[in-house]
Every structure is written in structure tokens, then in C-alpha cells.
A = this chain, B = another copy of it.
Amino acid sequence: MSQTRNPTLSRNEICEAIRSDVISGKLGFDQPIREQRLAERFGTSRGPVRDALLRLTQEGALVYEPNKGVRVTSPLSEEERSVVAGMRLALEKYCLAKFMETMDEDHERELSLLLERLESACERASLPKVAECDLALHRYWVAQASSHLESMWLGLSVRMIMKYSRLTRYEDITAEHRRIVEAVLDHDREKALYFLEENVV
């Protein structure tokens, strides 16, 4: 994710790249993040970088202090994490159920593909990729169900994954998600929501 030279990435891609670095822990918690450095890395001026940082701040991955720039958010407390997990679960349960109601063959293929990518990342034990693929899979059914809820979900999930992604075993991640996807493909609503709950909380 840390290409040293990549001319003219779009604003969205800049955002994704920095978010990926935050999730993977590439940026330390109290280390300041400099706009000029990022601008050079992405081959743009500071404007688009500022937009991306502002967006990530609103998302909760970064915190902003006037005239001092941004830094990585401090991790959630156990209590906070529990509250956020509950919110995320409620949101995802609704979205997954809704998604299953209107799922067609294209959706099923995409779901299988996203699962394969996650398993492949787990095999390679590449933390940034695992986190990215994990989020991408969940994000898929959320986005399909409701664009309104997608941006809320992203904020919740990014904060959560920053807290725990470093201490979960890759084989667990694979197994948990395979169970969910299999239940979804079987159109077994109860099972899918049950396995989702086990994975999120």
C-alpha cells in the first residue's frame, strides 16, 4: 500500500490508501502526519491530501487539532468498543437480512470472490490485506442494502478493526467468514445472522 511514486491518484484512492495504513498500524499513534510528505507520495498537491485527511478525521480514523494537523486516533476503551460492536451488529444484521432478500446470481458470485480474496490474504498472513478484505466483504452487503448506512458502518468498523485486528488468528477469520457466506448462499437467514453475530461481537 505504500507506493513511493504513483502519479495522480484520485481523492478516493488517497483516502483508501491512508486508511489502509492506519488500519495496518503502519502509522504510530502519536506520530504526526505531514501533508507535504503525503502529497509527494501520491504525486499531488496538498489540497486533495487535506480532503482525504479531513474525511478520515470525520470517519474517526484520525483526530484533528487546529494548526497542528492530524494523528492516528487513540484506541477505543473496552467499554466503548463494546458499545460500538453492538451498534455495528445491529446495523449489519439489518443489512445482511435485507441483502439476502434481493440477492441474485451476480451478488452470489461477488460474495464468493470477496471470500476467496479474504482467504487468500489470510494464507499469506498479510495483515493490511486481511483487514482490507475483511472490511470489503462486510461492506459489500451493507452497501447493497443501504447507501445511507454504508458510511455510518465504515466509521464504526474502522474504529473497531484498529483495536483488535492485530490479535486475531487468521484461521479464525477465514472460518468465521466462510460460515457466514455459506449460510447466505444457502438462503438460511437465521444461520447467517447467528454467525455474523459471532464474528462481529
Contact = CB atoms under 8 A, between A and B. Distances in A.
Given A79-B94, A87-B91, A90-B87, A148 B54 contact: no
A129 interface: no
A55 B155 CA distance: 13
A115 to B, nearest CB: 25
A73 B151 contact: no
B151 A60 contact: yes
Nearest to A156: B152
Contacts of A159: 148
Stoichiometry, as copies per complex, reads: 2
B148 A76 contact: yes
For the residues of A in contact with B, the DSSP-based class is helix
Contacts of A84: 149, 152
Contact of A83 (B59, B60, B90): B90
Contacts of A60: 148, 151-152
A116 interface: no
Interface in A48-104: 50-51, 54-55, 58-60, 73, 76, 79-80, 83-84, 86-87, 90-91, 94, 98
27 contacts: A50-B51, A51-B54, A54-B54, A54-B55, A60-B148, A60-B151, A60-B152, A73-B148, A76-B148, A79-B94, A79-B98, A80-B148, A80-B149, A83-B90, A83-B94, A83-B149, A84-B149, A84-B152, A86-B90, A87-B87, A87-B152, A90-B90, A148-B159, A151-B155, A152-B155, A152-B156, A155-B155
